[in-house]
Structure 1
Amino acid sequence: MADIESARKAFDRYDLNGDGLISASEYKSVMAQLGDFHVTETVAEAVIKAKDGNGDGLLTFDEFWASFDRS
């Protein structure tokens, strides 16, 4: 079960430029830092798109938080 504080820390780790949004390039970059070099730009875009509620190609914290299983 995720808690909002942990989710915020995770979100902030992915939000490299601090603008309050996670882009595909930020996601790809962080995944590489974590050792997953198989995440291409295309894969990163697909991950963002799957969670992107408003279709702008970026994740807000609310969209990120909504993707967690909080049951």
Structure 2
Amino acid sequence: MVELLNMELATARQRVNRAELALEQAEELLEEQCGVAINLTLCDRVRVAQQRVAEARRRHRQIDPPSGT
């Protein structure tokens, strides 16, 4: 049971890290001067990446809730 929980926590941490990395990459691309159409696409990509980060963090908190001290 403990091994399964550890594996789920590791998977959740990886999911958060991948989502945060994708968000950082999209934001860096957005900072470059491209064109309006590309910037609109990148804005959408940033928004989706932000949603993925929030969802990954929510899942991680469900598996390992923070201590309330």
- Tell me if TM exceeds 0.5: no
RCO higher in 1 or 2 (8 Å CA, sep ≥ 6)?
Answer: 2
Structure with more helix by fraction = 2
TM-score between both structures, scaled by the size of structure 1: 0.30
Answer with 1 or 2: which has the greater Rg.
2
